């Protein structure tokens, strides 16, 4: 089931990228994200000078990190980010401060719980530095306010997605490569 979800998310990402009329002429980034709650790949597209959309697919490492799961879960997310401030470093590298809402869904374990489906609202707040060599470094907080739905002993259990709330205090570090104009 997890392989089918990964394939579906990858196909949706590919269709979104290919269906954009001006997608290859706009500034895009592809990179990775790292935190204690998960690692993944990201695609970001600037939709204007002050907004950008980000799609991420991550391995959910919450229970794997603590040794309570042998296999990580998988989750996908989308955020629409608005740049609310921008400054330059002494080397003329722009630093953007941004925040935005989004959605997250996936299949993973939650804190001391069984495998299940997660879904919810995701937020993102952070900053990124755009270096002249087409590399971006970012630091952000990405909480998910959502639900974890699982099945145990024939009963459906709906709980708050606890790792999503823990992501409020676990920073995510990203590195990506910029291409396009």
Domain 2-20+28-179 -> CATH class: mainly beta
Q: Name the nearest CA neighbour of 39 among 59, 10, 66.
A: 59
Residue 168 is classified by DSSP as T
Question: CA angle at residue 98 from 19 to 130, to 5 degrees?
Answer: 75
Task: Provide the pLDDT confidence category of residue 6 given band limits of 50, 70 and 90.
Answer: low
Concatenate the DSSP letters of all residues of 82-131 into one string. EEEEEEE-TTS-EEEEEEEEEEEEEEEE-TT--EEEEEEEEEEEEEEEE-
43-63 pLDDT, tens digit per residue, is 999 888 899 999 999 998 877
Could you give the percent of the chain with pLDDT greater than 90? 48
Give the span between the Cα atoms of 52 and 43, in whole angstroms.
Answer: 10
Summarised one tens digit per residue, pLDDT across range 92-140 is 899 999 999 999 999 988 877 788 899 999 999 999 999 988 899 999 9
Secondary structure class of 4 (helix, strand, coil)? helix
Q: Which two tokens stand for residue 146?
A: 């959502």
The DSSP secondary-structure symbol of 138 reads E
- Give the distance, in angstroms, between the CA of residue 171 and the centroid of all CA atoms in the same chain: 12
Structural element, H or E, at residue 39: strand 38-46
Sign of dihedral through CA atoms 146, 169, 13, 95?
Answer: positive
* End-to-end Cα, the chain, rounded Å: 39
- Please tell me the predicted confidence (pLDDT) of residue 18: 52
């Amino acid at each position: 089931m997890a392989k089918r979800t990964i394939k579906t998310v990858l196909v949706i990402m590919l269709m979104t990228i290919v269906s954009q009329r001006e997608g290859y002429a706009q500034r895009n980034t592809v990179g990775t994200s790292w935190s204690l709650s998960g690692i993944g790949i990201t695609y970001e597209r600037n939709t204007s000078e002050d907004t950008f959309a980000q799609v991420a697919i991550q391995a959910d490492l919450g229970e794997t990190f603590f040794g309570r799961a042998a296999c990580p879960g998988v989750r996908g997310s989308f955020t629409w980010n608005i740049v609310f401030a921008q400054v330059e470093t002494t080397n003329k590298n722009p630093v953007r401060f941004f925040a935005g809402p989004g959605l997250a869904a996936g299949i993973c374990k939650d804190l001391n719980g069984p495998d299940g489906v997660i879904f919810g609202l995701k937020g993102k707040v952070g900053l990124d530095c755009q270096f002249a060599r087409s590399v971006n470094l970012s630091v952000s907080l990405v909480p998910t306010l959502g639900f974890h739905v699982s099945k145990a002993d024939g009963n459906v259990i709906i709980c708050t997605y606890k790792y999503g709330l823990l992501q409020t205090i676990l920073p995510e570090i990203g590195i990506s490569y910029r291409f396009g104009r």
